[in-house]
Amino acid sequence: MIDGVVRNGEYEWELPVGFIPGMHVPGRFFLSDTLTKTLEEGALQQLANVATMPGIIKNSLAMPDIHWGYGFPIGGVAAFEYDTGVISPGGVGFDINCGVRLLSTPLQPSDLSKKKEILDKLYDAVPVGVGARSSLRLSDTQLDDMMTDGALFAVEEGYGNQEDIIHCEEQGRMKEADPAHVSRKARSRGVPQSGTLGAGNHFLEIQVVEEIYDEEAARIFGVEQGQI
């Protein structure tokens, strides 16, 4: 492990105040022994940098996917005081479509007899990674429509249905969206990424619900144990 890091538990590590000058709170991250072998020193520097920001509360945190980011490390999390703290709209970075999406199915693990074939077909249908290009080719007008209409644009293009819109926050669009504020460079980067999962550490995977922790929430979302 990198000099100066303190181990607080089986998976918990700490950068004490003083790891770098100006830290207001400790940095804390969560890794197994195996994952510590891939830890980047620069990511810890960024974790410590976050701990120097005004108004930070309790800890500068990083999750097990910690690696070198834009300002925060990727996987970085921090909370700040309302009156004395800061707002950082792009602390971790500015990846297109960087978020989490969950699609539930009626399938059980026994239904997936050809896992590799299914994954291969998923990755054929949903390009992902640096240099990935989808078959979707948007004109300037279509790009404007996508930015203003959001989920509605996807549904009208055949990539979803009305129920998808209902289940999205703000009906899947921001009413104040104005493409006029998007630079030409950003537009040129966005067009070839449309229809992909983006680059960086974006990924697509098949998961199984192994355990239900909140029965009521699971019932509302229609999620059951053993479900794909």
- pLDDT reported for residue 97: 56
pLDDT(67) > 60: yes
Q: What is the DSSP letter of 80?
A: B
**171 φ/ψ sector (left φ>0, alpha ψ -120 to 50, else beta):** left
- pLDDT reported for residue 117: 92
Interatomic CA distance for residues 12 and 17, integer angstroms: 16
pLDDT(1) > 90: no
Question: Other C-beta atoms within 10 Å of 66: how many?
Answer: 25
**How confident is the prediction for the chain on average, in pLDDT?**
88
Interatomic CA distance for residues 57 and 101, integer angstroms: 29
Where residue 56 falls among pLDDT bands split at 50, 70, 90?
Answer: very high
pLDDT tens readout for residues 187-223: 888 888 888 887 666 788 899 999 999 999 999 888 9
The domains of the chain are located at: 6-77
- pLDDT reported for residue 95: 63
**Percent of the residues in the chain that have a pLDDT greater than 70, as a whole number:** 94
pLDDT tens readout for residues 98-142: 667 788 899 999 998 888 899 899 888 888 876 677 778 889 999
